[in-house]
Structure 1
Amino acid sequence: MFSPYYAWARRRGPADPEHHCALNVALYGERARRWAMTERGRGAIAREPARFEIGPSSLAWNGRELAIEINEVSVPWPLPLRGKVRVVPTAINQVALTLDAEGRHRWQPIAPCCRVSVDFDHPDLHWRGDGYFDINHGDAPLERDFQSWQWSRAATRTGTVISYDTVARDGADATIALHVDPSAQLDCIAPFAATPLRKTRWRIDRSARADTDAPVRVVSTLEDAPFYARSHLAARILGEDVAVMHESLSLDRFQRPIVQAMLPFRMPRW
């Protein structure tokens, strides 16, 4: 949905999204920091009910786990990025939530609670831990209906807590606050207090929701782009000190011509 090539194609008329597919891989850390998001056309994809191939990479579901085979080349430095990621949900959530008043945009936390194993050959990297898997889908470009959003997810002792704040162009802003337990029982909860955070180097606004009795701290900014930021936060949620994955998205920034012109440097097309 952030493909500049897809955006350019849509300006000429209806465009086929299957002609604009990519697997985005981002590794952060002292041992390895790599990024790949190579777009490929319809001739490089293959789709089956439980398998999706994008060039040399693939995603496959066997009824118990999602296996992601990664065989990409990173940018801006052309380094190999090869490995396997396995996502094992404790349960599957079947409920999709609408993000806008017209129902054009939907979000579904498919596996809010899951275990993840990461095994890379290039770079040599292995990890086991807690994970999360969701999807966004819709019937209109995001930038048409939204100005921005803030999203965060934290794993607690009782499940996953998610906060989702959208700023809509029609003024129908929305806040979603969810607690999802390991059985995928989804409960709407009262939104936590919003805390402003320091802006990124690209001057993207950030804010996060958490308990009011402890400060929210930016541990690290993992991704700092002209229209998007991914951050690791420390906060207290439901009385528990937790690590928070957070993203800020400015769709006003995304649709600026200069930003669109910069995107191919991070997202080549083969």
Structure 2
Amino acid sequence: MIGFIGSVFSPWYRWSGRKSPQNHVCLNVATYGTGGRFTMTDRGRAALRQSPDRLQIGPSSMHWTGRELVVEVNEISSLPLVSRVQGTITLTPAALTGVEARLTPDASHTWRPFAPIARIKVDLSQGHSWEGHGYWDANFGTAALEADFRFWTWGRFPLKDRTVCFYDATRSDGSSLALGVEVLRDGTVQEIALPPVSPFRRSLWAVRRNTRADPGFHPSQKMSLLDAPFYSRSLVETKIDGEVTTGVHEALDLVRYRQPWLKPMIAMRVPRRPGWDFKD
């Protein structure tokens, strides 16, 4: 689940010239398995309301209570399974971190891992009701992703007493980002020595993929979550400091994403709904 102000993967935002992020907002929800749905409606500025502890986007909202992040979902899923997706997601952090990382030297892109260790409770339509590991972060940017990056991968892997996150990217100028952090249950964050990069099988759309792993271990996909021509999200098994773990992994091919032919394809999954009335 992602809340966007300036919907970076919306073709409508790209076609608008990206001049007004508040006019392209959305709550993206993806569920998997039986009854899985995908929602990503690009909404106009009339649908946006913000306060220090609340983000509302049309009929859906996120609210920080001081202890929990409560997300009320009321969306319509995109083709081919068009239906209403409703319910509540509650995320309870073990602790909040106080760090952020520059993904570019000029800080045009910044990553903020609010709570890499959390519990989550999901109660959504289509039978998606469960509790388990949760994660909460944010990305901020003042430029288009495809303007500053060619490719990146990200992964979050829970270990027995901590969580590790890896960010690897090739920037448009040819320089590289290689970041590894560990987060303890009390919110302490520190950089770690990076295990080697290890490639594994490409996605169904042939997006190349790699992650970090102990020497000699070969990571593998355990479950495909989201597969697009420019993007892969999956559950991946790797080995860190002798511990085998399965975590969420993303790979993003921004050279492919910037191709004009791709935008109409994405628009089929990302409808534009500029109007909204809160009726109050």
TM-score, length basis structure 2: 0.92
How far apart, CA to CA, are the structure 2 residues paired with 1:165 and 1:179?
Answer: 15
What RMSD in Å do the two structures reach over aligned CA positions? 1.1
The DSSP-based 3-state class of the residue aligned with 1:143 is helix
Q: Which moved more, 1:244-253 or 1:192-201?
A: 192-201
Report if aligned partners of 1:80, 1:123 keep a CA contact under 8 Å in 2: no
Identity of aligned residues (%): 38
One-letter amino acid matched to 1:166: A
- Point out which structure has higher relative CO (alpha carbons under 8 A, 6+ apart): 2
How far apart, CA to CA, are the structure 2 residues paired with 1:65 and 1:100?
Answer: 31
Report if aligned partners of 1:108, 1:135 keep a CA contact under 8 Å in 2: yes
Residue 144 of structure 2 aligns with which residue? 141
Report if aligned partners of 2:200, 2:218 keep a CA contact under 8 Å in 1: no
Listed one character per residue, the Cα deviations across residues 37-84 of structure 1 (whole Å, up to 9, x for unaligned) are 111101112112211111111000010000000011111121111111
Residue 106 of structure 2 aligns with which residue? 102
1:7 to 2:23 alignment: no
Q: CA deviation at 1:158?
A: 1.3
Residue 117 of structure 2 aligns with which residue? 113
Unaligned runs of 5+ in 2: 1-7, 274-280
Q: CA deviation at 1:201?
A: 1.9
The DSSP-based 3-state class of the residue aligned with 1:132 is strand
How far apart, CA to CA, are the structure 2 residues paired with 1:43 and 1:231?
Answer: 34
Residue 224 of structure 1 aligns with which residue? 227
How far apart, CA to CA, are the structure 1 residues paired with 2:217 and 2:254?
Answer: 30
How far apart, CA to CA, are the structure 1 residues paired with 2:27 and 2:231?
Answer: 17
How far apart, CA to CA, are the structure 2 residues paired with 1:240 and 1:127?
Answer: 26
How far apart, CA to CA, are the structure 2 residues paired with 1:125 and 1:37?
Answer: 18
Q: CA deviation at 1:172?
A: 1.7
One-letter amino acid matched to 2:28: N
How far apart, CA to CA, are the structure 1 residues paired with 2:237 and 2:212?
Answer: 11
One-letter amino acid matched to 1:96: E
Q: CA deviation at 1:103?
A: 2.1
Unaligned runs of 5+ in 1: none
Report if aligned partners of 1:101, 1:172 keep a CA contact under 8 Å in 2: no
Instruction: Map residues 248-267 of structure 1 onto 2, 5 A cutoff.
Output: 248-267=251-270
1:239 counterpart (237, 242, 248): 242
Residue 196 of structure 2 aligns with which residue? 193
1:74 to 2:81 alignment: no
Report if aligned partners of 2:13, 2:24 keep a CA contact under 8 Å in 1: yes
Report if aligned partners of 2:36, 2:126 keep a CA contact under 8 Å in 1: no
Q: CA deviation at 1:213?
A: 4.3
How far apart, CA to CA, are the structure 2 residues paired with 1:159 and 1:267?
Answer: 36
How far apart, CA to CA, are the structure 1 residues paired with 2:143 and 2:76?
Answer: 31
Residue 43 of structure 1 aligns with which residue? 46
How far apart, CA to CA, are the structure 2 residues paired with 1:194 and 1:221?
Answer: 20
Residue 84 of structure 1 aligns with which residue? 88
The DSSP-based 3-state class of the residue aligned with 1:24 is strand
Report if aligned partners of 1:100, 1:172 keep a CA contact under 8 Å in 2: no
Q: CA deviation at 1:101?
A: 2.1
How far apart, CA to CA, are the structure 2 residues paired with 1:49 and 1:105?
Answer: 22
TM-score, length basis structure 1: 0.95
Q: Which runs of 4+ in 1 moved over 6 A?
A: none
